[in-house]
Amino acid sequence: MADKVLNVSGLTMDFGGLRAVDTVDLDVRQGEIVALIGPNGAGKTTFFNCITGIYPPTGGDVMVIPPGMEPQRLNGLKPNQITIRGMARTFQNIRLFPNMTALENVMVGRHCRTSAGVIGAIFRGPATRAEERETISISYKLLQKMGLKKHVNDLAKNLPYGAQRRLEIARALATDPFLLLLDEPAAGMNPQETTELDELITQIRDEDGISILLIEHDMKLVMSLSDRIFVVDFGRKIAEGIPQAIKDNPVVIKAYLGEEFEV
């Protein structure tokens, strides 16, 4: 497939004797929204951590194919190097920079696309000033897009919960990714906020052409949003397919509801 942007094959992660992720294959195509679901403790977040370089995977291959460029192998790269290659993520338990303002949080996201160093910071020459202006305006536009305009100068820790989740997405988008990884973006949101998030994610895909891979427990959101769904349980992939097929898949139902449940 030429239009894949992420291709994970046989990904395995062992913690001592525990195999948290077991030979999982997964791929994301350009402009697709893919969901990764599974019961609690199935290894979804570990999967994310492996492909984003927080854990070095024990086995398997992680390849990204930036649109119009050569495929690149990500195994063994550090998280920051992976982000520079165009894959950005958010975290399940929000990891903002609490004592920085919302705008500054997003500006940090621009870090890897800008270059000013110590000397630039001290002398603040025309190039640095231009870069800083650009960073500010890009960040501001992102905040605006995420509906956070009124929080621009608020400290991240003082933002309401839903806004913090959106700020994390804005910060990830600031790194100019072609693939966005969202770890439970709707966790803790009310139905109203979830609907808004649904629209927002679709908008990111449609307007910016960014492919999205997300972990999510809110089935309503997953079913309405995703083009394809991968299901994992006990570290193994047990199913993949379009939402309707997953909904009716007896293996998936069994994984979620238990052995005894008769379908």
Partner 1 sequence: MVAEIRKSLIAAVWFIFLTFPLMVVKVNTIENTVEWRWHNMLIVGVTFFFLSWLWRYLLQKKEEGTLTTKGALTKWTDRVMNEPAIYKPLIAVGTVAALLGPLVLSEKHMQPLISALIFIVLGLGLNIVVGLAGLLDLGYVAFYAVGAYAYALLNFHFGLSFWAALPLGAGLGAVFGILLGIPVLRLRGDYLAIVTLGFGEIIRLILENWDDLSHGPSGIANIPGPTLFGDVLSRSDSTVLIYYVIIAMLVFTIFVVNRIQNSRLGRSWLALREDEIACQAMGIDRMKTKLAAFAVGATWAGMAGVVFAAKSGFINPKSFEFWESVLILSIVVLGGQGSILGVILAAFVLKLLPEYVRILGEYRMLLFGAAMVLMMLFRPQGFISNVRRSYEFHGLDEEGADG
Give one DSSP letter per residue of 170-197, joined into a string: HHHHTT--SEEEEESTTTT--HHHHHHH
DSSP 257: H
Instruction: Mark 31-70 with x for binding to partner 1 (rule: CB under 8 A) and - for no binding.
Output: ---------------------x-x----------------
- How many helices and strands, by DSSP H and E, does the chain display? 10, 10
Task: Give the shortest CB-127-to-partner 1 separation in angstroms.
Answer: 12
- Take residue 216 and report the two structure tokens written for it: 């999510």
Q: Which stretch binds partner 1 (CB under 8 A): 123-131, 216-224, 243-251, 252-260?
A: 123-131
Q: Which stretch binds partner 1 (CB under 8 A): 5-13, 63-71, 101-109, 223-231?
A: 101-109
Q: How many C-beta neighbours within 10 Å does residue 118 have?
A: 7
Residue 19 host element (H or E): strand 18-29
Task: Tell me if 256 contacts partner 1 by CB under 8 A.
Answer: no
Q: Could you tell me which of 58, 163, 45, 171 has the C-alpha nearest to residue 108?
A: 171
Task: Tell me if 104 contacts partner 1 by CB under 8 A.
Answer: yes
Instruction: Provide the binding-site residues for partner 1, judged by CB under 8 A.
Output: 52, 54, 78-80, 83-84, 88-89, 91, 95-101, 103-104, 107-118, 120-122, 124, 128, 131-133, 135-137, 140-141, 144, 152-153, 155, 171-172, 174-175
